[in-house]
Amino acid sequence: EAGVAQSPRYKIIEKRQSVAFWCNPISGHATLYWYQQILGQGPKLLIQFQNNGVVDDSQLPKDRFSAERLKGVDSTLKIQPAKLEDSAVYLCASSSVGGGANVLTFGAGSRLTVL
């Protein structure tokens, strides 16, 4: 079974520039998550999709961050304009809920450095 694919793995931009991250979840997984992990901290949930609908985006800074999941498969997370504090690893995860369990499968992450 193929894992969760993310790209790019690394991105360096200057503040006020824009960036986009792409995620391809495991085939058949209805739920997709984007997390932000700042160095030394645990992952922080930004947005949760169920198929192509948003379940929770309460922690997404909507003035600069946007995310979409067209056709309920791939997803894109965009930041525009970027700030220094956006430097982090952006993790994508997907899951298929069963038996009350929600085990997440994570991608390797996209590391963003904002200069």
Chain residues binding other proteins by CB under 8 A are 4, 31, 33, 35, 40-45, 48, 55-56, 91, 93, 95, 97, 100-109, 111
| Secondary structure (3-state) at 80 | coil
Cis peptide before 61 (omega within 30 of 0): no
Cβ atoms of 68 and 2 within 8 Å: the answer is no
Closest CB to other proteins among residues 17, 30 = 30
Closest CB to other proteins among residues 15, 44 = 44
Find the shortest distance in angstroms from Cβ 34 to other proteins: 12
- Which amino acid does the sequence have at 100? G
